[in-house]
């Protein structure tokens, strides 16, 4: 993939794992995850090792007992939410296929317009402003700007981007835990005049106790990302007054089952959510779109991964882009699979 830089590091290749869970009913479920070691602490290699253990646990078990199958994974190993999300996805694909329904309908959802933002990685202010202008010309309406390297430079980045695109485009920023508390106060107060929609994860999670104070000082709304992996994290962030919004990612939550719990808890508290992700292909992106259709409290969509520089598309079927809007056909289950020609060139094993 094209190298992509955020505050915690640069990724020059996607570390994805694709799985198929076969059933005795003659069909299989698909799942995909994308390891992002600087964030979640897993790599492609760790995902593969743990996947072998997971696969053995499910032999001879009922694939439609979703919660029981997921509990087996949690009892096997703590954490490892990235690879767990692939297995979770495959279970939901199986359940929806068994019901003969697209996943979003199986989850009780309905179609709606979903328009993604488009992300600008960290570079010089001039380079980022130029990229913002290019995205505007391509029809983008929402920019997500990666920051967090240095607060003074970040203010200049946002200033030049706003000048490049004018007032119409929405700008949201993501510091990826890059700022100290003082840097966050400075940057957010300085950026208030540039009409910023929200700021994702301004500080490291070990400063979560200072988020209520930052919330009072910031003119920009705060979205929790790395501070919320599961619905218990969400409860603590919301109850302590630490965030305005929450970013849900399958690689953090461990998949759809936990993501739904985060969504429902946040909805009950009046905290809107965003659908985010790592560097998944259109396979996992398809599952995320189904989840969005079934999750009315997801109000923001950061679903541009497949537009950011994947050099190969391994997906058959699945999500399509109409400009920055996402669509998917009504096929049973997730409606996406991996291309056999692509798989033939990959490392693979069966359990």
**Marked catalytic residue, from 84, 97, 249, 288:** 249
Active site residue 249: yes
Tokens of 206: 């070990």
**Marked catalytic residue, from 225, 244, 258, 280:** 225
List the one residue out of 213, 255, 340 whose CA is nearest residue 54. 255
User: Is residue 152 exposed (0-12), middle (13-18) or buried (19+ Cβ within 10 Å)?
Assistant: exposed
**Marked catalytic residue, from 84, 136, 144, 146:** 146
**Marked catalytic residue, from 200, 244, 280, 337:** 200
What is the C-alpha to C-alpha distance for residues 335 and 316, in angstroms, rounded to an integer?
9
Active site residue 163: no
List the one residue out of 234, 247, 114 whose CA is nearest residue 174. 247
Radius of gyration over every alpha carbon of the chain, rounded to an integer in angstroms: 20
Decide the pairing of beta strands 142-146 and 170-174.
parallel
**Mapping DSSP to helix (H, G, I), strand (E, B) and coil, where does residue 317 land?**
strand
Tokens of 336: 């996406």
Active site residue 88: no
**Mapping DSSP to helix (H, G, I), strand (E, B) and coil, where does residue 286 land?**
helix
Decide the pairing of beta strands 15-22 and 170-174.
unpaired
DSSP H helices in 100-249: 103-106, 125-137, 151-165, 181-191, 211-217, 231-239
- Do the beta carbons of residue 292 and residue 301 sit within 8 Å? yes
Please give the span between the terminal C-alpha atoms of the chain, in angstroms, as a whole number.
30
- Do the beta carbons of residue 151 and residue 186 sit within 8 Å? yes
**Mapping DSSP to helix (H, G, I), strand (E, B) and coil, where does residue 96 land?**
helix
**Marked catalytic residue, from 93, 117, 154, 174:** 174
User: Is residue 221 exposed (0-12), middle (13-18) or buried (19+ Cβ within 10 Å)?
Assistant: middle
Tokens of 103: 């996943």
User: Is residue 275 exposed (0-12), middle (13-18) or buried (19+ Cβ within 10 Å)?
Assistant: buried
Residue positions annotated with a catalytic role? 146, 174, 200, 225, 249
């Amino acid at each position: 993939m094209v190298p992509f830089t955020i505050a915690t590091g640069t990724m020059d290749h996607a570390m994805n794992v694709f799985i198929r869970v076969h059933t005795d009913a003659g069909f299989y479920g698909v799942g995909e995850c994308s390891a992002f070691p600087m964030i979640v602490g897993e790599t492609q290699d760790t995902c593969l090792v743990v996947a072998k253990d997971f696969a053995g646990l499910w032999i001879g078990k009922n694939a439609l007992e979703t919660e029981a199958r997921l509990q087996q994974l949690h009892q096997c190993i703590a954490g490892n939410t990235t690879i767990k999300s692939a297995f979770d996805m495959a279970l939901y694909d199986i359940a929806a296929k068994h019901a003969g329904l697209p996943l979003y309908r199986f989850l009780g959802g309905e179609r709606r317009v979903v328009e993604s933002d488009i992300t600008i990685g960290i570079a010089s202010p001039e380079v980022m402003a130029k990229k913002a202008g290019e995205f505007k010309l391509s029809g983008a309406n929402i920019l997500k700007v990666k920051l967090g390297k240095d607060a003074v430079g970040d203010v200049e980045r946002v200033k030049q981007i706003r000048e490049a695109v004018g007032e119409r485009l929405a700008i949201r920023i993501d510091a990826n835990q890059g700022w100290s508390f003082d840097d966050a106060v400075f940057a957010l107060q300085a950026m208030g005049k540039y009409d910023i929609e929200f700021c994702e994860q301004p500080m490291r999670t070990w400063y979560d106790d200072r988020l209520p104070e930052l919330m009072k000082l910031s003119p920009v709304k705060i979205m929790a990302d790395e501070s919320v992996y599961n619905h218990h994290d969400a409860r603590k962030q919301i109850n302590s007054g630490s965030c305005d919004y929450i970013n849900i990612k399958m690689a953090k939550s461990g998949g759809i089952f936990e993501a739904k719990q985060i969504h429902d808890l946040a909805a009950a508290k009046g905290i809107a959510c965003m659908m985010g992700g790592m560097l998944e292909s259109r396979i996992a992106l398809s599952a995320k779109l189904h989840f969005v259709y079934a999750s009315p409290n997801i109000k923001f969509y950061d679903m541009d991964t497949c537009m950011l520089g994947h050099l190969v598309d391994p997906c058959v079927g699945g999500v399509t882009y109409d400009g920055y809007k996402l669509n998917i056909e009504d096929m049973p289950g997730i409606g996406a699979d991996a291309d056999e020609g692509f798989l033939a060139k990959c490392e693979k094993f069966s359990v």
